[in-house]
Every structure is written in C-alpha cells, then in structure tokens.
Amino acid sequence: MPHRAIVQCLLLGAAVLLAGCTAKSDPAMTDPLDALMHDYAGNGPGASVLVVRDGKAIERRSYGFADLEAKTPITPKTNFRLASISKQFNSAAILLLAQDGKLSIDDPIKRFLPTLPPEDDAITIRHLLTHTSGLIDYEDLMDPKDTAQIHDIGVLQLLEKAPKHYFVPGTSYRYSNSGYALLALIVERASGQRYADFLRTRIFEPLGMKHTVAYENGISTVANRAYGYTEENGKWTRTDQSTTSAVLGDGGIYSSIDDLARWDAALYDDRLLPQSVWKQAFTPATKTDDPTIEYGFGWRITGETLWHSGETVGFRNVIVRYPQRHLTVVVLTNRNEPEPYELAKKIAASYLD
C-alpha cells in the first residue's frame, strides 16, 4: 500500500476511535447518575451527591457552582447549609446528655427553661424531639417588619409571651422548628457549653467531621462554602440568608457529603452512642400528618427508610438511609427548587437489589 494511503487509513482509524470514546464519555448516554443529575450540571448553582453502600462511598459527585459570582465549582468537600437535616444532630446531642446523666428524655422542659409560661408545664423533652409539643411556630410569632436575624434565645423570648398551643402537648403532631430551637438551649444549659461548641467537641471532632459547623456569623466560618440561590425571571439571585437563618437548633449546620459519609458510618456502630440508644431515635414515636410517614427523634421513618429533608432559603437537601441494606443517599443543593427527596429515591433504586 502506498505511503499516502497508509497515512489516510491510520487517520481514519484514529477518527473512528476518537468518535467512539467521545460517545462513550457522554454522561447523559452512559451514566445513570449523571443523567438523573443533569439539571444541576452547568453554570448555575448545583449539587453534591453521595451514595454509601456497605460503609463505602461508592459515589461522590458534584455539579454546578458553589459561588456563582466567583465561579467556584462545587466539590465533595463543599459545605452546604443543611437546614432541617440539622435536627438529627440536635437529637444526638440530647441523647449524649441523657447518656451523661445530665438530663432525661422525659424531663419537663421547664427544668431548663423556667421562664416559659405555666401553660408549658406539661411539655417534655420527648415532646420537642417528636414534634408533639403543640408549641406555636416561632416564625408565626415574629414581627414581619423586623429585618434582624433571630437566634435560638430569641425563639425562647417569643415563646415566653405565647401561652397558647396548637393542641394539648402529647396529643397530636405538628412539625415544630420552635421545639428544636428550645432543644439547642437545653443542650447548652444541661452541658454548660455553647451549643455550637458542644456539637463540635462531642460529635463533629470525634467523628472526623473536620469542616462541619453550626455556623454563627462573626464567630465561626464555613470552609468551602456553598451560597444559596433562587431563580427569578430566568436568572439566579443569591438568597443565602433570611431572618431565621441564625437559629442553630432547627437548621444551622453546614456540612459536606464527605463529612456526612462519616456521620452515616457512625450510625451503624457504638463510637458515638450505643446502638440501643440510637434505636430510640430510629423507632417511630408518632404518626405525622402524612399517613406514610412516622417520626422518631430527628428522623422521618417511611417503611424501611430513615430520612430527613432540609429546606431553607436557597437550599434543598435530603438524606435517605436504608439501614437494613446498608445503603445511604445524600443530595445537597444550593438552589431554591426542586425538593430532592424523590430524586434521592430514584438514585437509591438504581443501587438496590
């Protein structure tokens, strides 16, 4: 074969090979997880996804930007505001203090918060953990004209002036951010430590969650921080903070999928709490307003799953655990919509037998 023909043949073969590689690397065509996460990829705010099976992180993927203005990409180390996923850490803090003998789950909350009105005498710590206290939601008590951020102590001050309840404590269920703000204050008063410090020294540091933090503006910082965004008129607007964003007990923790993999691992053994104690958190304590969902201590329970979502301005998150199958899916996003619970279940379905 003439030299020129040989060169043309080689070039044609290389082109065919390159085309084949390009097609194979197209995530929308070949990778189910990337296909499911397609809407979070690109130049907007995005997401991090974790899949843990048998204690091993088999997927750690990130999409989009943590900071649109700086064009900082999201990575597995990016820390998102967890919103109500934070509640499971609050409940763990209460269980640790019960183990220490500093409190009992069935203590009246006025043992630690005596300034609450007489109408709250019957409310126990258990009621706060399970959203069965009947306490008025603090957001309904805030002055809509007030632009200053409220803190956990501010929630207590509002409730001191709110003797009415949604229902008699212990007789029904209503999701209560007020209850978890009060739990953070109980952690402080029972332990003698600031809430953020207790979480850091008793949970985050022992588990190697080095960059997870109950964030306090002017006191702590968030490493590798994702900022929250909302789409308005086809454009992304930063909506990272609201008047309630400084309340720690109901949603103030920032964490990453890498650190949450460590948290998930600790729920299977006794390094933080004995399994007999974890069982209290994971056992249904009350039915909810959804007939398919029950609630434990900081965890929703649906069939074989333990899960919790987290929704706040600019962030939508979820953790879904299948403990009997040793499978967990976490989706953290820094955009206002959509809520990723159904997405997480679709991701999990591709890894279940």
Q: What is the mean pLDDT of the chain?
A: 92
Beta-carbon count within 10 A of 238 CB: 15
What pLDDT is stored for residue 256 in this prediction? 98
Q: Confidence class of residue 28 from pLDDT cuts 50, 70 and 90? A: very low
Query: Per-residue pLDDT tens for 197-252?
Result: 999 999 999 999 999 999 999 999 999 999 999 999 999 999 999 999 999 999 99
Residue type, 187: V
Under 8 Å CB-to-CB from 252, ≥6 apart: which residues? 81, 86, 214, 215, 216, 245, 246
Where in the chain are the domains?
32-349
Beta-carbon count within 10 A of 94 CB: 25
Instruction: With a cut of 80, say whether residue 27 has pLDDT above it.
Output: no
Between the two ends of the chain, the Cα-to-Cα distance in Å is 55
The candidate with the shortest Cα–Cα distance to 155, out of 129, 131, 186, 125, is: 186
The candidate with the shortest Cα–Cα distance to 77, out of 197, 199, 210, 206, is: 210
What pLDDT is stored for residue 89 in this prediction? 98
62, 84, 176, 191: which one is catalytic? 84
Alpha-carbon span 343 to 55, nearest angstrom: 22
**What is the pTM for the complete model shown?**
0.91
CB of 98 within 8 A of CB of 91?
A: no
- Residues 31-40 have a mean pLDDT of 96
Query: Tokens standing for 159?
Result: 């409730």
3-state DSSP helix/strand/coil percent for the chain, to nearest 5? 35, 20, 40
What pLDDT is stored for residue 23 in this prediction? 31
Query: Tokens standing for 221?
Result: 């910082």
The candidate with the shortest Cα–Cα distance to 137, out of 85, 176, 105, is: 176
Q: 């306090």: which residue's tokens?
A: 216
Q: What is the CATH number of domain 32-349?
A: 3.40.710.10
Query: Per-residue pLDDT tens for 284-339?
Result: 999 999 999 999 999 999 999 999 999 999 999 999 999 999 999 999 999 999 99
Instruction: With a cut of 90, say whether residue 30 has pLDDT above it.
Output: no
Q: Confidence class of residue 6 from pLDDT cuts 50, 70 and 90? A: very low
**DSSP H/E element including 186:** helix 177-191
- Encode burial over 133-145: b for 16+ CB neighbours within 10 A, e otherwise: bbbbbbbebbeee
What pLDDT is stored for residue 323 in this prediction? 98
Strand extents, DSSP E, the chain = 47-53, 56-63, 65-67, 72-73, 80-81, 213-214, 229-232, 235-238, 253-255, 286-287, 294-295, 300-302, 305-312, 315-322, 327-333
Query: Per-residue pLDDT tens for 140-156?
Result: 999 999 999 999 999 99
Query: Tokens standing for 281?
Result: 């958190």
Q: 């109950």: which residue's tokens?
A: 214
> Could you please report the per-residue DSSP string of 145-177?
T--SPP-HHHHHHHHHT---BSSSTTSS----H
Known catalytic residue at 309: no
